[in-house]
Amino acid sequence: MADNRIDPTLAPISASTGDERSVLESFLDLQRAVVLNKLRGLSDADASRRLVPSETTLTGLVKHLTLVEESWFSSLLAREPGAVQLTSEEDATASFALTEGDTVERIAAAYEARCARSREVAARFDLGYVVPQPQVGEVSLRWILVHMIGETARHAGHADVLRELTDGSTGIV
């Protein structure tokens, strides 16, 4: 069966005259794709190599973003039992930590699955749907999508620098 989904790096162009939701979702999917593209093609050793003074690695960034997706969409928005909720800076920092089984393939697959789940959850709600959020008070799905665009883009930038330091690769693909 053919994959009829649009290339996420082109989605913002196709949504340029779309409704608000399609614009927000396409920009978030673009950033998600950039993050995955920075991870792909690297060995487990290269992707987990520390290249900056912090504990930040390419696989750690993607692992963190997987938990961020779960926290905002599955835990906060859908209230799914057992979903991880990152509630502190310590939680967020710990989410970068790698374990022995964290391979490029597993981390990428987990992120792709979590993003797919986030899309499913978001599709159930209107952009104006509001939920309580411990640090902010209340947030709408619209706010969550904008926040996730910023969060993912920030880490896509980190991933871009780490990938360039690893093998010289630059660009969104």
pLDDT the model gives residue 8: 60
Rank 15-19, 83-87, 91-95, 142-146 by mean pLDDT and report only the highest: 142-146
pLDDT digits (tens, 9 = 90+) for 34-61: 999 999 999 999 999 999 998 899 999 9
Superfamily in which the 39-165 domain is placed by CATH:
dinb family like domain (1.20.120.450)
pLDDT the model gives residue 91: 80
pLDDT at 9 over 80: no
Which residue is it, tokens 């950033």? Answer: 31
Query: In this predicted model, which residue has the larger pLDDT, 121 or 16?
Result: 121
165 falls in which pLDDT band (50, 70, 90)? Answer: very high
Q: Which of 47, 32, 26 is nearest to 169 (CA)?
A: 47
Domain ranges of the chain: 39-165
pLDDT the model gives residue 141: 98
pLDDT digits (tens, 9 = 90+) for 66-112: 999 999 999 999 999 999 888 878 888 888 999 999 999 999 999 99
Question: 103: how many CB neighbours lie within 10 A of its CB?
Answer: 15
Average pLDDT taken over every residue of the chain: 91
Cβ atoms 28, 150 nearer than 8 A: no
pLDDT the model gives residue 110: 97
CA atoms of 106 and 124, how far apart (whole Å): 28
CA atoms of 116 and 118, how far apart (whole Å): 5
2 falls in which pLDDT band (50, 70, 90)? Answer: very low
Query: What average pLDDT score do residues 143-150 get?
Result: 98
pLDDT the model gives residue 1: 41
pLDDT the model gives residue 3: 47
